[in-house]
Structure 1
Amino acid sequence: MTRYDRRFWFLAAGLSATAGYVDAIGFLRLGGFFVSFMSGNSTRFAVGAVTDAHVAYVAGALIAGFAAGVAGGTWLSVRHGGGRLPVSLLLMGALLALAAASDGRSPAMATSLMMAAAMGAANTIFQRDGEVSIGVTYMTGTLVKFVQRLTAALMGGGPRWAWLPYALLWMGLVAGACGGAAVYGAVGTAGVWLAVAAVALLAGYARAIGRPHAP
């Protein structure tokens, strides 16, 4: 993440906050499953495969939805990735809009799968040499890098502020999740419309600063 210009740090943090917001809504809606945190769903799938087939079904379906979003975002980036605006960001917004619009009109699982697919697409926005360079929904590695860089800075063995972008990414997700939990308590899944609005704002910002790139 430190390879990117600082303008892109804020785009990544905004995406992370949006992902945290959506994940909190999905978590509360699904009663303990995730639409962005696939490590958690993988554990739930494995445990469910042994103890509860329904748990395995829900977790497995969400993993498949997330993977479909990654595949779609990757395909669009390869085929139509030459403009200033990351096409994966447009896919993320479209999927969230479909999820919000389908709430109450489609099976509950269909809405959740679209949310998971949107989160998969979000992770394909930052790429370098065909590989994801910033994952905006999986925070374990980000937290490790944050603590490593901070420890090195405090010991005088590394750049003073190298920990900051990782802190922004992690804190963005936490803050977004707090917001998602609060909004879900007030309006339920309709709160996903706020995530759609956030993606629209981020798309405007992304268009203004140009495509994410790193040396």
Structure 2
Amino acid sequence: MLRSDARLLNLAIALSALAGFVDALGFLTAGGFFVSFMSGNSTRLAVGISEGSSAALTAAGLIAGFVTGVVLGGLVGHRAGPHRRPAVLGLVTALLLVAALAAPISPTFALAAMVMAMGAENAALADNGEVKVGLTYMTGALVRLGQALANRLTGKDASHWRVDLGLWSGLMTGAIAGAFAYARLGSSALWVAAALAMVLTVLAARFVPAPR
């Protein structure tokens, strides 16, 4: 899907960068928990259960919030039909705005809005209701990148490596920017994330072809 349309690939990389930015903010706010990387939170949940610590409750809450966001994104995308991408990204923008507003008052509520936004973002590039491109987690992209390198070494087709490298690089770039922004702005950096999401919503509506 991404290999066949440069505009869609660029949007996917930009959304991965947004996810990295927000995840860095969430990680620094929550003291080592994630708002987009649920594999990490699942490990924290397991360790927290084994230790009997409150970390298990935090991790479980974040995982539940992420799944809730995926559900909300899927429902909004379904209702929006061919306008799914800007509709889902509009939801992401709204949730990040809520997080930015809530951050000075209730960091916990802000984290809830952030994690739901990251869950919802994954529905932006859904194809026929199925999420085929992970925008907020990169394990799959790195596996595919490694497979592509193995294919290249054995003389097989490895043309898709640029897609996976682009997605991972986007997330890394966004995370670095998010960490810098948090160091300088604190929780106010969420306003930057919301503004970025709003710009991507407009770009998706105007320049990216409608999904099937």
TM over 0.5: yes
Q: Which runs of 5+ in 2 are unaligned?
A: none
SS in 1 for 2:54: helix
Residue in 2 aligned with 1:182?
Answer: 180
CA distance in 1, matches of 2:200, 2:137: 19
- Tell me if structure 1 keeps the 8 A contact 2:3–2:9: no
State the 1:88 CA deviation.
1.1
SS in 1 for 2:83: coil
Once the two structures are superposed, residues 107-156 of structure 1 have per-residue CA deviations (whole angstroms, 9 ceiling, x without a partner) of 22111010000000011111112210111011001111122223323543
Residue in 1 aligned with 2:73?
Answer: 73
Once the two structures are superposed, residues 18-68 of structure 1 have per-residue CA deviations (whole angstroms, 9 ceiling, x without a partner) of 000100011011110000000000111111112133101110111111111
CA distance in 2, matches of 1:85, 1:121: 11
Report how many aligned residue pairs link the two structures.
212
Q: 1:84 to 1:61 in 2, by over 3 A?
A: closer
Q: What is the root-mean-square deviation in Å for CA atoms of aligned residues?
A: 1.7
2:31 is equivalent to residue 15 of structure 1: no
Residue in 2 aligned with 1:37?
Answer: 37
CA distance in 2, matches of 1:134, 1:82: 18
CA distance in 2, matches of 1:85, 1:32: 31
Residue in 2 aligned with 1:197?
Answer: 195
CA distance in 2, matches of 1:122, 1:3: 20
- Tell me if structure 1 keeps the 8 A contact 2:76–2:84: no
More deviation in 191-200 or 84-93? Answer: 84-93
Amino acid at match of 1:138: Y
Of residues 163, 170, 173, the one that matches 2:171 is: 173
- Tell me if structure 2 keeps the 8 A contact 1:84–1:210: no
Residue in 2 aligned with 1:49?
Answer: 49
Moved over 6 A (4+): none
CA distance in 1, matches of 2:48, 2:210: 39
CA distance in 2, matches of 1:140, 1:85: 23
Amino acid at match of 2:58: V
Amino acid at match of 1:23: D
State the 1:85 CA deviation.
4.4
More deviation in 77-86 or 58-67? Answer: 77-86
State the 1:211 CA deviation.
4.2
SS in 2 for 1:113: helix
Residue in 1 aligned with 2:133?
Answer: 134
SS in 2 for 1:126: coil
